[in-house]
Amino acid sequence: MKQIRRLAIAAAIGLLAAAEAAAFCGFYVAKADTELFNRASQVALVRHGDRTVLTMANDFQGDLDEFAIVIPVPTKITRDQIHLGDRALLEHLDAYSSPRLVEYHDSNPCDVADYERMLKSAAPTATADMASGAGRARSLGVTVEAQYTVGEYDISILSARESGGLAIWLAENGYRLPDGAERVLGSYIGQGMRFFVAKVNVAQQSKLGFTYLRPIQVAYESPKFMLPIRLGMLNADGQQELFVYALTKRGRVETTNYRTVKLPSDMDVPLFVKDEFGDFYRDMFAQQVERRDGRAVFLEYAWNMSWCDPCAADPLSDAELRSLGVFWLDDTLRRGAAREVFITRLHVRYDGEHFPEDLIFQETGDTSNFQARYVLRHPWKGDATCSAADGYREQLVERWDRDARKLSELTGWTLSDVQARMNAAGQSINLITKPRPWWKRIWSN
């Protein structure tokens, strides 16, 4: 058997529309989506009370005969609790919640609406035969509680008394486990968790006509709101990226056993970043990970799903939210109330050294909006001659200097390189019209 590229592990608990922003002529121009990162996994968690609907994207590449996943689950899962979703749902969630670059243009500083007020207004508003026989499984302390074929997947629900027997059963049934798996499996067994295991039924996949693996969705009830990530790290080649889209009824989601940190946001960046937004965001994120010693979970987006400002993509429709498992939506609409769906986007770069525990979540009552948002601000280029224009040109030099230093600090790029690239893009101090002598500005000569 060839090496499985990844043993995906997750838990069963848990249009581009350029929109003009009110009060300042700004437009969404770019987004930093999951495609910027290698080894990136996506998980959607719809959660309210003890009920969870989990949607897992499979990024497996290679021979489908080799595909296999093992997912710890807190309870037995029946056939009708398993569903196959549409990966377009996760792509839409990604686009809607991605960090974004927006673009504004300075107004004529001689206009009645003075420049300082304009700057303030620019702030954002607030079943195949998977067993070698039941007797063999029992001899290993493994119980095959159920087996299902769901679309292109053959799925078994297992329980086990000890990790060694479970590891042997998995290996005998084609699941290639990395070194150290027994210890991690043992910790899940100690918590009384079962195991949802899936392989691709290649014949069924061909019959259905799909050329890719659809996301697996699981609905269940459990007080545990967590995402097991440890088993998936055992055979990982370096750090991995995880994007969690949590859809809740009351407010923002955060981790309780790791610090949840908001990314730097709402700052001006030099104009050349427009063509290098992907590089900017990767390097900025890497700097933030390093500054938190690689042990933080980063908040990239938190917003009511009914609207956005500015929009990197349209909010998800009612039909899309139902498909993701937002089970309270119909009740809300019957009452004539607004959609009670709050999305939290969390981004984790993790490995075994810095994330020795699984991710534990909690829903908070915090409904304040947040987005990782970065601003391109084009200068006024008109031939204005009033005193306000002279002051504006002086402030522009200072603003560009601040932007250069902040970008260097955020990304680790050298200040001299940033300044050179700004100069090439036309943001040069030498290009600013020299203000008139101070005595001429006194009497407006």
Last residue of a domain, one of 376, 405, 429: 376
| Residue, of 395 and 237, whose pLDDT is higher | 395
Non-local (6+) Cβ contacts of 329 within 8 A are 318, 321, 322, 339, 341
Contacts of residues 415-419 at CB distance under 8 Å and 24 or more positions apart, as own/partner, are 418/270
Any domain includes 18: no
Same structural domain for residues 286 and 253? yes
264 φ/ψ sector (left φ>0, alpha ψ -120 to 50, else beta) = beta
Contact 40, 239 (CB under 8 A): no
DSSP-assigned states of every residue in 405-425: HHHHHHH---HHHHHHHHHHT
User: The tokens of 113 are what?
Assistant: 């609406």
Say how far apart CA 94 and CA 105 lie, in whole Å: 28
Range of the domain at 422: 379-443
Nearest to 359 by CA among 370, 373, 348: 348
Find the mean pLDDT for residues 120-131. 45
Any domain includes 180: yes
| Residue, of 109 and 439, whose pLDDT is higher | 109
Contact 124, 302 (CB under 8 A): no
The one-character DSSP state at 57 is -
With cut-offs at 50, 70 and 90, classify the pLDDT of residue 384: low
Same structural domain for residues 352 and 391? no
Confidence check: pLDDT of 325 > 90: yes
Same structural domain for residues 340 and 423? no
At 189 the three-state DSSP class reads helix
The whole model's pTM is what?
0.81
Say how far apart CA 269 and CA 375 lie, in whole Å: 6
Last residue of a domain, one of 322, 356, 376: 376
With cut-offs at 50, 70 and 90, classify the pLDDT of residue 67: confident
Q: What is the pLDDT of residue 397?
A: 84
In tens, the pLDDT along 170-228 reads 888 877 777 788 888 999 999 889 998 988 887 887 787 766 788 999 999 999 999 98
Find the mean pLDDT for residues 364-378. 93
Report the chain's C-alpha Rg in angstroms.
Answer: 26
Confidence check: pLDDT of 61 > 80: no
Number of CB atoms found within 10 A of residue 118's CB = 17
Confidence check: pLDDT of 55 > 60: yes
Find the mean pLDDT for residues 319-339. 81
Non-local (6+) Cβ contacts of 348 within 8 A are 241, 242, 244, 297, 298, 355, 359
With cut-offs at 50, 70 and 90, classify the pLDDT of residue 303: very high
Q: What is the pLDDT of residue 177?
A: 76
Any domain includes 178: yes
Same structural domain for residues 89 and 151? yes
The owner of tokens 């001659």 is 385
Same structural domain for residues 343 and 406? no
Nearest to 293 by CA among 245, 261, 253, 252: 261
Q: Tell me the pairing of strands 296-304 and 259-262.
A: parallel
With cut-offs at 50, 70 and 90, classify the pLDDT of residue 431: low
Encoded amino acid at 371, one letter: Q
Same structural domain for residues 225 and 261? yes
Q: What is the pLDDT of residue 75?
A: 85
Same structural domain for residues 351 and 425? no
How many domains does the structure of the chain reveal? 2
Nearest to 377 by CA among 364, 395, 359: 395
Q: What percent of the chain has pLDDT over 70?
A: 80
406 φ/ψ sector (left φ>0, alpha ψ -120 to 50, else beta) = alpha
Any domain includes 17: no
Find the mean pLDDT for residues 366-379. 93
Among 111-125, 160-174, 388-402, name the one with the lowest average pLDDT: 111-125
Q: What is the mean pLDDT of the chain?
A: 81
In tens, the pLDDT along 222-245 reads 999 999 888 777 766 778 899 999
Beta strand ranges found along 278-332 (DSSP E): 296-304
Last residue of a domain, one of 376, 404, 429: 376
Q: What is the pLDDT of residue 445?
A: 47
Q: What is the pLDDT of residue 84?
A: 93
CA distances from 77 to 13, 50, 156, 326 (A): 12, 15, 9, 19
Nearest 5 degrees, angle CA 134-CA 135-CA 136? Answer: 90
Q: What is the pLDDT of residue 79?
A: 93
Encoded amino acid at 403, one letter: D
Any domain includes 283: yes
Encoded amino acid at 93, one letter: L
Nearest to 26 by CA among 272, 277, 282, 373: 373
User: The tokens of 415 are what?
Assistant: 């200040």
CA distances from 173 to 1, 3, 60, 89, 169 (A): 11, 15, 19, 32, 6
Same structural domain for residues 293 and 353? yes
Any domain includes 16: no
Find the mean pLDDT for residues 260-268. 95
Same structural domain for residues 367 and 386? no
- Looking at mean pLDDT, say which of 13-27, 54-68, 137-151 comes out highest: 137-151
Find the mean pLDDT for residues 375-380. 90
Q: What is the pLDDT of residue 5?
A: 33
- Looking at mean pLDDT, say which of 22-31, 44-53, 203-212, 374-383 comes out highest: 44-53
Encoded amino acid at 219, one letter: A
The owner of tokens 């989990």 is 54
Same structural domain for residues 61 and 209? yes
Q: Tell me the pairing of strands 26-31 and 100-105.
A: antiparallel
Confidence check: pLDDT of 295 > 90: yes
Find the mean pLDDT for residues 55-82. 82
Among 106-115, 271-280, 364-373, 395-404, name the one with the lowest average pLDDT: 106-115
Same structural domain for residues 433 and 342? no
In tens, the pLDDT along 337-349 reads 567 899 999 999 9
Find the mean pLDDT for residues 371-390. 83
Same structural domain for residues 281 and 235? yes
